[in-house]
Structure 1
Amino acid sequence: MRHNLIKPMKLRFLAIGVVWASMTMLVQGEWATFTYSSGFQNGGVIPDNSLVGWADTRQVSGLVGEILDVNVGLQLSGGWNGDLYSWLVHSTGFAVLLNRVGGTGVNPPGYGDAGMSMMLDDQGEKGDIHWYGGGFIPTTTAWPTVPDGAPTPSDNWKPDGRYVDPIDGDVGVAPRTALLSSFNGLNPNGDWTLFIADVAAGETSTLTSWTLNIQTAAVPEPASLVQGAVVVLLMGGVMGGYRLRGQKRRFHSH
């Protein structure tokens, strides 16, 4: 009798194992990298001292699955880094990439370095770009490559994320609430718009290229669909076994 009771438990553990395997296949993702370096409004020159700013909209298509992660690369030359305010928008997602880096109540102009060439990544291990330190050009050397586009967090910076007025108050103390994770779970296809404004008079910045690096959830392989069917069958067998055993007990008790 004891031997018969062990079998359903074994089936239950097997079913759980198959469910876990199927879920593992679903969370694995593919990276797609899109780099834009031409066709820019005003030749990529950011209007000086203008809140109207500059924008570039690109359409992504052909990706399958929902977004798991997004990284953004910016390559800018010239200007004054602390003048720049930049965001990225797609569907209902919104992320502040730059908000007057180095800007504080004591030092509103921020860092005066001219240009940057870096990848922004919520997991970036170089730290918050707002506090990169100044006195040098922030860079990422391990740029994502096609076709895999997998990021190198140890070489990336975190986006600014401070969704506050760039010309009002102490930007540096604002909370980081507008991060790239806002795109997670969305359909990656459609319009993506990069916006940059130079909000103080003086030097002029030029965008030479920008990169959109998107990881999407993998589509289940046919094997995982078969596994799902096996799970249903196994669980049905387990429950059926228990029901049958209960009926036998009731029958013998009469």
Structure 2
Amino acid sequence: MQRISTVGRVLKAAVLASAFALAGGAQAALLTATDTTPGAFDASSGTRTFTLGAGSITDVNIAITFSKCDDPSNTDGGRCAGAGFSFNSEIVFRLTSPNGTIVNLVSAGTYGGETPGSGEQTVLFDDEAATTVGGDSVVSGSFKPVGLLSSMDGADAAGNWTLFIQDTVFQDPLNYFSATLSVTTSDVPEPASLALVGAALLGLAGAKRRKAA
């Protein structure tokens, strides 16, 4: 009887050790990727790709640096050269996760104004921001996107993320300069750790059955 009790204590210790190992594996990690390939979009669209490692997604943010100008194109950044209306309603940004979840960051008509000359701006899309993106002018700052980035939570971050960029109407181009994707994750437990927990639990159950017999 004493031998079985000792086995039970050993197995319980193994279960506790495995549980602590799994808890340690759930530490938060920040994965980031930056794209600096500029582009000018005028009644056209394109994509940029970000590649991240593994981890269970708990939070997603993306910062995009861009400008919306009256002609001519603002490929060098800074303020717009054109002094006419910029037609900000033509801007579209979408983010797609590796598992195919799509979040609208800016939809056509999100910005309603035609403010000229605003030039290069950096907008951080963050579900926890105080206000939602939009308004008459494109201004730098932190804003909630049109959709919910939290809809990506729980999936694996590993793989290619895609930023879709579009200007919907000819003239008054959308100039893209760069973007940084930031994804907070909790580490995925290793299969070996999960197997250890399972084996320990089975062994403990068997020891209890033998003791009862």
- Relative to the length of structure 2, the TM-score reads 0.65
Identity of matched residues, %: 22
- Provide the C-alpha distance between the structure 1 equivalents of 2:113 and 2:13, rounded to a whole number of angstroms: 58
- Provide the C-alpha distance between the structure 2 equivalents of 1:136 and 1:96, rounded to a whole number of angstroms: 17
Instruction: Give the equivalent residue in structure 2 for 1:242.
Output: 208
Name the SS of the counterpart of 1:233 in structure 2: helix
Q: Please tell me whether the aligned partners of residues 102 and 134 of structure 1 are also in contact (alpha carbons under 8 angstroms).
A: no
- Provide the C-alpha distance between the structure 1 equivalents of 2:48 and 2:137, rounded to a whole number of angstroms: 32
Instruction: Give the equivalent residue in structure 2 for 1:165.
Output: none
Q: Please tell me whether the aligned partners of residues 66 and 184 of structure 1 are also in contact (alpha carbons under 8 angstroms).
A: yes
Select the structure that is richer in strand: 2
- Provide the C-alpha distance between the structure 2 equivalents of 1:137 and 1:57, rounded to a whole number of angstroms: 22
Unmatched tracts of structure 2, length 5 or more: 1-5, 70-85
Equivalent residue letter for 1:214: V
1:74 partnered with 2:64:
yes
Alpha carbons of structure 1 residues 34 and 95: separation in structure 2 relative to 1, 3 Å: same
Q: Paired residue for 1:206, among 172, 175, 185?
A: 175
- Provide the C-alpha distance between the structure 1 equivalents of 2:129 and 2:8, rounded to a whole number of angstroms: 45
Select the structure that is richer in helix: 1
Q: Paired residue for 1:120, among 100, 125, 150?
A: 125
- Provide the C-alpha distance between the structure 2 equivalents of 1:60 and 1:230, rounded to a whole number of angstroms: 32
Deviation at 1:95, TM superposition (A): 1.6
Instruction: Give the equivalent residue in structure 1 for 2:143.
Output: 157
Deviation at 1:67, TM superposition (A): 4.2
Instruction: Give the equivalent residue in structure 2 for 1:58.
Output: 49
Equivalent residue letter for 1:76: F
Q: Please tell me whether the aligned partners of residues 87 and 96 of structure 1 are also in contact (alpha carbons under 8 angstroms).
A: yes
Q: Please tell me whether the aligned partners of residues 57 and 184 of structure 2 are also in contact (alpha carbons under 8 angstroms).
A: yes
Q: Please tell me whether the aligned partners of residues 96 and 160 of structure 1 are also in contact (alpha carbons under 8 angstroms).
A: yes
Q: Paired residue for 1:218, among 183, 187, 193?
A: 187
1:95 partnered with 2:85:
no
Alpha carbons of structure 1 residues 229 and 198: separation in structure 2 relative to 1, 3 Å: closer
1:21 partnered with 2:20:
yes
Q: Please tell me whether the aligned partners of residues 94 and 180 of structure 1 are also in contact (alpha carbons under 8 angstroms).
A: no
Instruction: Give the equivalent residue in structure 2 for 1:146.
Output: none
- CA-based RMSD: 3.9
Number of residue pairs matched by the alignment? 188
